[in-house]
Amino acid sequence: MSLNILIVGAGVCGPALATLLMHANPGHNITVVERAPSLRVAGQQLDVKMQGLPILKKMGLHDTIKPLLVAETGLQFMDTKGNSLAEFGVTRDGKRNYSLSTDREIMRNDLVNMLYEASLKRREEIEKLSGPRKTKGSLKYEFGKSLTELSQDDHGVDVKFSSGETGQYDLVIAADGQGSRTRRLTWGVEASAAAFHPLGIHAAYYSIPRAEGEGGMAKWFNAPGSRSVMIRNGDRPMTQVYLFARKNAGLFRQAYREPVAKQKEAFRQVFAGAGWEVDRFLKGMDECDDFYAHEIGQIKLDPLYKGRVVLVGDAGFCPSPFTGMGTTLSLIGAYVLAGELGRHKDDIGSALKAYSEVVRAPVDEYQRLAPSLLSGIFPSSRLGVWLLQNTAWVLSILKVDQLIHKALPADSSDGKWPIPEYPELNLPA
């Protein structure tokens, strides 16, 4: 049965899901709404690995993504004088991280644009193949629009948009990120808030002009007070800046309720005088136009649906940036949801139940984080910073990263969780 489907969010997950749904059933009427006025292409590097790679291959996009990958060559640990203390190579072949850098990094804007264009191309193919029969079904993107109200019964979901328009859908899919408004409208404010499990880390991301000598390797710097800074750009003209802090939670949480200028002031206050080139990064922060800050955490919710509303990607199971698995989990979620909807035909309830059960294994696996790891990379004292730097130096000298890479099984790019086969998706590969 063809469905009238609303997808909320046009980031990575939304366009990928729209493409997969059209492969499964060209007759679906799919509307993707995005609260931003256009595609949100700002953002930093993303990892696409493990099951994410074969899923893109099944979609016929493996060769498309190759020329878009960032040429990052590894990671350096820096001291306050700008000296490199330790160097580690990239994690290769799409395997799960043992390093903060992989050979399957892609800028968020490149990935979002690729998936968006793939969805439009799929719709064009459907129109051409249908010929004079004019296959029913549609795909449309609506920007500058968000949900304000939502109610549902056994027959569908009624929604009201910020534009004042209303609509009724057979299925609403929330792909609107960690702070999902759709989740809040459906599960309620308290249940939605309880699904967020903070990791005690606050982060800011933005880009500044690339300086001479930057490029190739990402650089990581620790400062006392549980502060860390990372920069990276690979072969790109802009340098990405990442600021991470494990203290001053009250200051940051208050700032998130304020305009961007206040958020920048909070990070400037915490990171001033940290050392290395941080003062230059803070100056660049004042002039950037892509600043984004938030509290890092994980979203844990089970089941992932309520009635005819279902969560995918970060809206339902954000693993946090420190796992490096957010993009892969989003692709897994999109693939399984589209597959189960295709398999269960017109039985939406059974499809959503199966989806929630099937993705539970990879979600649980990739949300796993060792608390000691996070505390270890955010030392609070000067002694702790010294110990971390010297530990990194020893591991670098012993080439531990290369030994681990050799020890990993050749097929570890697919992960422990086997990707289900869904012939109902009618994928090209």
**pLDDT tens series, the chain, 429 aa:** 799 999 999 999 999 999 999 999 999 999 999 999 988 877 788 888 889 989 999 999 988 998 888 887 888 899 999 899 888 877 665 555 545 666 778 889 999 999 999 999 999 999 888 766 666 899 999 999 999 999 999 889 999 999 999 999 999 999 999 999 999 999 999 999 999 999 999 999 999 998 887 778 889 999 999 999 999 887 788 899 999 999 999 999 999 999 999 999 999 999 999 999 999 999 999 999 999 999 999 999 999 999 999 999 999 999 998 888 999 999 999 999 999 999 998 799 999 999 999 999 999 999 988 766 777 788 999 999 999 888 888 877 777 655 555 544 444 444 578 999 999 999 986
Q: Which pTM does this prediction carry?
A: 0.91
Question: Secondary structure of the chain in the HEC alphabet?
Answer: CCCEEEEECCCCHHHHHHHHHHHHCCCCEEEEEECCCCCCCCCCEEECCCCHHHHHHHCCCHHHHHHHECCCCEEEEECCCCCEEEEECCECCCCCCCCCCECCEEEHHHHHHHHHHHHHHHHHHHHHHHHHHCCCCEEEEEECCCEEEEEEECCEEEEEECCCCEEEECEEEECCCCCCHHHHHHHCHHHHHHCEEEEEEEEEEEEEECCCCCCCEEEEEEECCCEEEEEECCCCCEEEEEEEECCCHHHHHHHCCCCHHHHHHHHHHHHCCCCCCHHHHHHHHHHCCCCEEEEEEEECCCCCEECCEEECCHHHHCCCHHHCCHHHHHHHHHHHHHHHHHHCCCCHHHHHHHHHHHCHHHHHHHCCCCHHHHHHCCCCCHHHHHHHHHHHHHHHHCCHHHHHHHHCCCCHHHCCCCCCCCHHHCCCC
